[in-house]
Each structure stands twice: as structure tokens, then as C-alpha cells.
Chain A
Amino acid sequence: MNFEKILATRTSNIKASAIRELLKIAANPGMISLGGGLPSPDSFPLALMRELTEKVLTKYGAAALQYDLTEGFVPLRKALIDYCKSNGVEAKLENIYITSGSQGFLDCLGKLLISPGDLVAVEGPTYLAALQAFNSYEAKYIQMQTDDEGLVPEALEETLKNNTVKFVYTVPTFQNPSGKTIKIKRREQIAEIIKRYDALLIEDDPYSALRYSGDPLPTIKSMAPENVVYVSTFSKIFAPGLRLGFFVAPEQFGKWMVIVKQGVDLNTTTYGQALAAEYLLGGYLDNHIKKIISIYKPKLDVMLKALEENFPPEYKWIKPDGGMFFWIYGPNSIDMEDVSAISLSKGVGFVPGKFFYPNPEDGLGTMRLNFTNGSHDQLKFAIKIIADSIKERKNQLVK
């Protein structure tokens, strides 16, 4: 039967993403990809898994395999109280909820809040998978200006003054794709504006544990607890395959989300939650994060050096203090999609930055380069190839 003709309009909005197509090519054997946002598989705590499995099945037994609360497995939520506290987020049990990855949170959020045509304020550029989750609910976007220190508070205020937005979405620390971090003074300004306009802000924080330099920063959540929902994930600090995310929110918001989540998947895998609980309770996290940082930090330095040595002077970047990405920006006259076509033909993939903007023409000269996945030699080689591809494209345009 022809399913196409009976699809919901909501569904036909969803197109195959350009990035995915690019990543598909980049995944071919022999290709070096700086495209994904993926943690390096050698950063996963594989050796711990047997120990954690034993702990879980001894401690919780069959209960780890049974249905559980939609809110999330209580031992995990209790362990998260302490974890959140060390990240500057105060929470009680009734403020903490588990989701099927942070993507599962973004989806339930859209399902709860967005009616077709509702406005969502996002940074330009912003995290693409968030837009994809919200697209399913037919959101419209307002793109807020960012600079080297991330979201510009005046742009936020302007947005809230002139529009009715459902919520503001931001990744304030080591943002994907830009790697930028909002400094403390700005966070306070943002918190103050959000409170003054009685707005809701979603603070998505997957990367702050991956800090290689500089001091940790307070969360916006800690500055406006009633107006901010804080969301994070185990993907970067444990393993992405577990599909575990969590959020901290006022209890009333949490109760709403539970109703939505019941309809989506009843509860997130109990077994995986029990693993994560034992991972936190056993104190493995600190050591593991040290290990991850010891793998990623040298890679960042390798890429930085390669950029300095190879890239044309009109291309700029800011060395990130953490996370997984370098964000490069150059003149809008050269569309990075064209450059990526050339570099792909030479065996190197990366993501043109324009795909991360609700208005892509604002980011023609930008690109996102992942430094966590490749080996040192691959990173050096890839940067050289991309720099050559830029020069080649420049020459094509001159002719």
C-alpha cells in the first residue's frame, strides 16, 4: 500500500538532513571525518562494564529489569542530586527526571510546549538536533545574535520584548557547534532578563564536564531556578549508547513532562539507569572524566597548531576551553558547502556551519570541526586538506 499519501503534515516537514548525507559519505572507509559530534570510542569505560553489571544485578536483581517510574529510577535520581550540586545545580528528588537521552528530553519538551507556529528563540548558530526535535512540532524560530562570548544579552532582551516566545533554548558552555562559552557576567544578565520577562529558558549542558582549561562556571539554572530547566546527558561522561539524559526543573513542569513521557515510552530503560546509578555512586566518574580529558585535550592542541600553520589568515577561531569542536569563521563570500565538496573528494569530511543556523545564509563562511574523534595524525592531515580546499575554492572563484 502507498503509505506516502496518508502521512501527517507534521511528518512530511521532516526532510533528510544535509548533514546526515554528508556524514554518510564521510563514513565511507578511508575517509577522515571531522563531521560528527561523536565521543571517541576509546573514551568509553568498557573495562568498567563488567563490574557495573555485577553491581547492578547483585544490588537490584530483577528489579533492574522491571518496569519503573516514568520519572526515573530513584537510586539514579538520588545520585544525581549530588552530581548536580557539584555542577552548581541545587535540586531535590522531585526536581530530577530521567529521559531517553537528551534528545528524548528535547522531543518531550516540544511535545509538551510547542503548538504549530509557536516561536522558539535559539542562538544562531545552534544545536541542530534540537531544531530537528522542535521541527516535528512545527515550531518557528527567532535567531538571536551571538558573538565570541556566545548569546548577546541585548539580543535576548530585544527578542523577548518584541515577541511571544514559548521558550529560549541555549547551550551556554562549549556550545555545539561553536564551542563558545557564555561568561559569568552575561549569565547573570541573561538570568535577570529571563526573570524580568517571566520567560522559560532551556539550558542544555552536555559538555561542561569536558573542561580542559579555565574555571567552571555557575549554571544559569542556579541564577533563575524557577525559570530555567537544566538538561544534561550521560552520553559524554559515560557512554552515548545508553541513551540516558536527565533534566532539573520545577516540580510542576516535571509532572507535565511525565504525562507526556508516559505516552512516548512509559519509562527509560531501568537497566541502563541502574548502571548509571552505580557509575555515579561508585565514584568512577571523576577518574573517567580525567581519562577522557587526557585523551581529548592533546587532540585539541594538535588541531589548534594545525589550524595556525595551515589556515589562510582571513579565517578566525577561538580556542575552546572544553567540549568537542572548533568553530571557524571566515568571509561569507566563500560558501563552506562548496569547500566541503572539494575536501570530501580528497577524503576529508566536515560540516559547513550554515546548517546550524535557522537562517543558513548568515553562516556561509563558517564550519564546525570536531577534534575528539580522529587520531593526532588524522587531525593534522585533515586540517591541511581543508586548508588546501579553501585555497582551491578561492582560486575557482577568482577565475
Chain B
Amino acid sequence: MIILNLDRKNKTPLFRQVFEQLKEKIDNEILKPGDLLPPTRTFSDQLGVNRTTIYKAYQELWALGYIESRSGSYSYVRQRREFHLSGKEVHSNSIDWAKRVNHNAEKVYKMFGKVNYPFSEEKIGFDGIDFGRLHPDTRIFPVKEFRKSINKAIEHRGATVLDYGESKGYYPLREYITRRMRSHGISVDIDEILITNGAQNAIDLLLRLFAKPGCRVFVESPTYGMVFPTFTYYNCEIVLIPMLDDGADLEAIEREFKNGLPIFFYTMPNFHNPTGITTNQEHREKLIALFEKYSVPIVEDAFEEEMKYFGKVSLPVKSMDINRIIIYVGSFSKILFPGIRLGWIAADIECINRLTTLKRFSDISTALPEQAALADFCLKGFYELHIKKIHKVFRKRMILAMQAMEQKIKNKNVSWIAPNGGFTIWLTLNNLKTGYEEMNSIFHANKIRVALGKDFFMDTETEKHLRLAIASLNEKEIAEGIERLASAINHIYKS
């Protein structure tokens, strides 16, 4: 007879207790190979538990190779090969991963493995005021409307929204996107849209499509830091085009063309990340003419197209794209919410079809229930309402941030660019000896977090920079945060 001690008050489920105790008896050879286990009914009567409890425990023992059943009736302990379970012990012959990975992955790890991106564990759980992350404010997410939309999508479309979907993306969503883009002067067909897992996925797919080892790629300097590891993985030579006050230096581009044409130029014409600069219509016209002349594609990252608060309208570069050299990348992450991971690429059909094949082999398609819910959300008009709402909210927040900075930051060495939209403010700290590490500890002491300029440069900066993102903060937090920032800056210049 097998005796077990079951503790009914314990939080561990009974079947788990039975399992653990039997396992222990087998491990300690109290139960030996060939020993019969009682039939589930007998054993459950004996222990005064439900028969399914025993059944479940036996199932788990089966799954781990501890027992076998003979002709479906009796279970007996089997001769089990010694093996260790993960986490308990490391084998002397376990794999040396650093030697196993490929050259490109190793390069990315060496160069960027130490960088803390906002998606790593360490960044979560910070309780100060966070200007560091460009994450939208969860408090104004339209959760209620999204709930309605997802329920509606499931009700109306049924099981199809849970099935595999088209790799190009959910048709009604692509249809809506073409309409929305038309309001920005861009005309593309529904089949010229590919839905991606956010803008990052779009950039990765574009590199899969175009990058050859040693190819050149033009980027603004500074730029969105997450593109550096991606370009590095694909073995690109990253050519840095300086950002001037009115946008990328067009003369530098023309000079660099002479040294070899790039696969594309990655640019953010609106509220450029991190500088917040928006290029004017004239710059955009010159830019497209220049790339048309050399027949080089432009990747226009328009992740915040809708968020212009001040100044003259400038149309997307894509709206002037008669020769179809522009690959437009859009995203719902900053305007709506990022957790559903939805972005898109709009480009010539020849380009989109090839990207779609790559997408199919890399993850089949973007998740479908999210796409269907978003389509319904947009078609119901919730998206346009939400844009209006957050446009109003953030216009106010940005005005407040600018006023607070004017009032609080008096140091002559510190200057910033007033953006006419978006969520970021770029500061330049002149004549500063203090290193980033020390600055960071001062920010930490003042209970704020900011993004450090170095993360946006591939080369070394001539002056130090900070990027403030107000995306996740309300007015009170912005005012308080800038006050703390001002005192941190004073401290930094004194040290």
C-alpha cells in the first residue's frame, strides 16, 4: 500500500501533491521499476479524493516518463533514464551559446546588448516621473470603445477572426487605412498596404527585402535608436546624415550619393525622433527631387502623422510620390495604443507583394482579432474621435511643457527645440563636462527619468543631449517633472 500525506489546506492542488509525492517515491527508489501502481479507483477510495485527481497525477507522471500503462489498464513504474530537469543543475557539456550564434547576432549583442531599451525588464516599476519612454498615456486609452469593437468584430465576423488571416492584413483595416491616408493627400490601393506588428516590424521587413552585406543605408543623425541594432544585424554601412535646424542636410545627402548609393534613406519628416523637428514643404520637395534623380527609395516613417499642433501644414512626402519611390511606414502605436502591435507599410505593389512573402515566412500574419477589432473601431468613427481628443490634450500638454521650461530652466548653456507636434522635446547641454552616468544618477536622485542623447547617435555627440517625452504624462506630472529637471540641471552644471 502506498501512503501519501495530502494536505487539503495547502494551496497546491491535490493532484499536484499526489504527483509530487509519487515522483519523490520513484526518485528515491521506494517505488522501483516494474512496481504496479494501484488502479485509479482503488487509490482514490483509499486516499479519499476524487478519481480524476489520481488520473491527473498519473497523466503527469506519464508525461515525465515515470510510469507506463500496460494494455491500458494498470500503471507501473518504468525504468527511467537518468536526466536532469532544467534549472536544477547545469551540465558540464551544456552549450556555449556565444559560439553558437551567428556573426551578425554576435555583433548586435556586443554593440547593443548593454543598452537598456524601454522594452526590457529594468524599466518597469519606476515610480518617479518618466520622460524617458515614448509610451502613450494609458490613462487616456479608449478601452471602453475597444471592448465594444472587439465584441462586435467577434459577433459579426465569427470564427474567421480567430483563424489564420491573409498575410497582407485584414482587408477592412487596409481599406480604412487607404481612406485615412487619402485625407493626408496620399493615394494608394488597398493591395499596396501591408499590415505589420508595429513600425519596428515594418523596418525589419524592409531590411530583409533590401539589405545586402556591406550595403549603405542613410539615416538622420540623431535618429530613433532602435534602428541601429537592426541595421547592424543586416550588415549595413550606416551613413549618418546630420540633422540641421530645418531637417536632414540635403547637401550632405548629395555628397554621400557620390560615395555610393544607399538601399534607402530612413527619415522622419514629422516631429523627428528625437529632435522633434518637422521639415517644411520646401525641404520635402527638394528631398524627393533629390532621391528621384538618383532613383533611391525613401522610407518615410510617419509614426505621428496626426499629431501636428502648431504651424503650417506640410504634406507627407509620400503625397508627392508620382514616381513611387517612397515607402511609407505608419503606426497606431503612439496615437491609439501600442499593445496591439499594429502598423503598416504603404508602397508600390511590387514592393508590397515581396514584403508580404517575407512576412508570411517570418510570422504568417499580424494577429487577426486585434486587426478586426481595430477595423471596427475605426469604421465606427472611434479613431477619428480619439485623434481629436488626444490632439487637444497633447497640444495643451506641449504648451504647458514649453512654458514650464521657459520659466524654470534658466541656465544659458541649455537650449531646446520647440516642436510643432508630437511628444518629444530635444535639449542641448552646451559646455558640459559631466558624463552621462553621473547625470543619470542626478536624475535618479531627483526622481525623474529622461532619455540620454547618446542612445540616438551612432557616432559621438559634439554636445550632450537629452530627450524628454511627454507622451505618458499629464499636466501636473509635466509641471512637476520639469521643475525637478531644472533643479537636476542646476546640480549637473555645479558638479
**A interface list, Cβ under 8 A from B:** 1-4, 6-11, 14, 16, 38-39, 41-42, 44-46, 49-50, 53-54, 57, 61-71, 85-92, 95, 100-101, 103-104, 107, 111-115, 118, 129, 132-133, 135-137, 166, 184, 188, 191-192, 195-196, 198, 200, 215-219, 221-227, 239-244, 248, 250, 252-253, 256, 258-260, 262-272, 275
Contact = CB atoms under 8 A, between A and B. Distances in A.
Interface in B363-386: 363-370
A115 B197 contact: no
A112 B339 contact: no
Given A7-B210, A62-B337, A222-B83, A240 B163 contact: yes
Nearest to A240: B164
Contacts of B369: 49, 239, 241-242, 272, 275
A217 B102 contact: no
Interface in B128-171: 135-136, 138-139, 141, 143, 146-147, 150-151, 154, 158-165
A276 to B, nearest CB: 11
Contacts of B159: 41-42, 44, 46
Given A57-B147, A188-B81, A256-B105, A14 B210 contact: no
A167 to B, nearest CB: 8
A267 B85 contact: no
Contacts of B365: 243
A259 B162 contact: no
B493 interface: no
Contacts of A65: 138, 141, 143, 146, 337-340
A66 B124 CA distance: 12
Contacts of B200: 262-266
Interface string B184-226: 0000000000001110110010001111100000000000001
A88 B60 contact: yes
B197 A269 contact: yes
A68 B124 CA distance: 9
Nearest to A49: B154
A218 B63 contact: yes
Contact of B86 (A49, A57, A225): A225
A11 B209 CA distance: 6
Interface of B: 59-60, 62-65, 68-69, 81, 83-87, 90-91, 93-95, 97, 100-105, 108-109, 112-113, 117-121, 124, 135-136, 138-139, 141, 143, 146-147, 150-151, 154, 158-165, 196-198, 200-201, 204, 208-212, 226, 229-230, 233, 263, 295, 297, 323-325, 333, 337-341, 348, 350-351, 354, 357-358, 361-370
Nearest to A208: B63
Contacts of A263: 108, 200, 204, 226, 229-230, 233
A11 B295 contact: no
Contacts of A266: 119, 197-198, 200-201, 226, 341
Contacts of B263: 6
A268 B143 CA distance: 19
B85 to A, nearest CB: 4
A192 B338 CA distance: 44
Nearest to B196: A265
Given A1-B295, A11-B209, 10 more contacts: A6-B210, A166-B100, A192-B81, A198-B93, A223-B81, A227-B91, A239-B369, A241-B165, A252-B97, A266-B198
Given A259-B109, A263-B229, A265-B200, A41 B100 contact: no
A88 B103 CA distance: 34
> 3 nearest interchain CB pairs?
A270-B339, A225-B86, A241-B368
Contact of B119 (A69, A91, A227): A69
B65 A136 contact: no
Contact of A195 (B93, B103, B112): B93
Given A1-B323, A53-B151, A269 B367 contact: yes
Contacts of B69: 215
Contact of A259 (B112, B146, B337): B112
A241 B339 contact: no
B325 A1 contact: yes
Contacts of B226: 262-263, 266
B162 A50 contact: no
Nearest to B87: A92
B59 A62 contact: no
A11 B354 contact: yes
Contacts of A100: 197, 363, 367
A221 B83 CA distance: 10
A235 to B, nearest CB: 8
Given A46-B162, A101-B363, A243-B364, A111 B233 contact: yes
A38 B159 CA distance: 13
A1 B324 contact: yes
Contacts of B158: 41, 46
Contact of B162 (A53, A198, A240): A240
Contacts of A239: 162-163, 369
Contacts of A71: 121
A218 to B, nearest CB: 4
Contacts of A224: 83
A385 to B, nearest CB: 25
Given A222-B64, A242-B367, A113 B102 contact: yes
Nearest to A131: B361
17 contacts: A3-B350, A7-B209, A46-B154, A46-B159, A67-B118, A101-B364, A112-B102, A118-B102, A223-B65, A225-B83, A241-B162, A241-B165, A242-B162, A259-B112, A263-B230, A266-B119, A270-B341
